[in-house]
Chains A and B, each alone.
Chain A
Amino acid sequence: MIAHLEDIIIQTVCRILIPFIQVYGLYVIAHGHHSPGGGFQGGVILGASFILLCVAYDINEAKRRLNEKLDTMFCSLGLIIYSGIGFVCLVLGGNYLNYSRLGHILPVDPVNARSLGILGIEIGVGITVMAVMISIFLDLASRGKHEEGLE
């Protein structure tokens, strides 16, 4: 479905731009407190950088760097970070997602612990959203056939 375009200009420009796009995506995730942004938006930008690689080059080129099995692992990993932080707060004695309890294990006071807890959650969400965007695109572009298989 995605034909192999051999256009040298697009390939060169994409090769230069993709790292910057990824850094921008990480910036958006990390600055969710202070400017519009956050986990979902940054994750979509990171996923879009990967899809740009697929569009400019070939799908197999992208699959060489992040194959589908690893992608599914990233989906689960981000969500495990999210629920794990909440669960740690539960274990440390507070309610679920009560980040101020993280102040017991991190050397900050409870208010700053809430801020850091949200940052951790956003990172988890960003990883998952990136993985899901890539997974949706790979499934649709390869017309649903898993050439490498997942099991």
Chain B
Amino acid sequence: MELIISKYNYWVYIILMMIGFYAMIGKRNLVKKLVGMNIFQTAIILYFVSTGAKRGASIPILEGGHGEAIHAIHAAHYVNPLPHVLMLTAIVVMVSTFGVALALIIMLYRRYNTLEEDEILELRK
């Protein structure tokens, strides 16, 4: 019980990731596979961002502007900004993959008039 409560962010991301993974592999409709892919990638982004959170911390922006003397910074007061920055890039990659995938689905629909994987395999033979 202690294991689940103290590390609940890991459990959330694992459950989401497995749901997305199952949808990518187990579903036959191409759009459902895409939705699964999106959930899978979002779960990984959630995991990364959650590793940077700290209890009672605020956003990592220094008040005071340029040129003024800034007092000593305690890293424990600010959320770790590096995972957020990395995940910006990962979100861009996710959106680009989604765009390419949707374009491919449109090409497939125009060619085969169906979006079920087994029907497309039947029509290909």
Contact = CB atoms under 8 A, between A and B. Distances in A.
A139 B103 contact: yes
A136 B102 CA distance: 9
B106 interface: yes
Interface residues of B, number: 13
Interface in A7-37: 34-36
A35 B61 contact: yes
Interface in B62-121: 66, 88, 91-92, 96, 99, 102-103, 106-107, 110
A143 B92 contact: no
Nearest to B84: A36
Nearest to A41: B88
Contacts of B103: 136, 139-140, 144
Contacts of A132: 96, 99
B59 interface: yes
A92 B104 CA distance: 43
Interface string A116-148: 000000000000010010001001100110000
A40 B88 contact: yes
A144 B106 contact: yes
Which secondary structure characterizes the binding site on chain A?
A: helix
Nearest to B98: A136
Counting contact residues on chain A (CB < 8 A from B), the size range is: 10 to 19
Nearest to B60: A36
A139 B102 CA distance: 10
A71 to B, nearest CB: 14
A132 B98 CA distance: 12
A110 B114 CA distance: 59
A112 interface: yes
B106 A36 contact: no
Contacts of A139: 103, 106
Interface of A: 34-36, 38, 40, 112, 115, 129, 132, 136, 139-140, 143-144
10 contacts: A38-B88, A40-B91, A112-B66, A136-B99, A136-B102, A139-B106, A140-B103, A143-B110, A144-B106, A144-B107
Given A38-B88, A140-B102, 8 more contacts: A34-B61, A40-B88, A40-B92, A132-B96, A132-B99, A136-B99, A139-B103, A140-B103
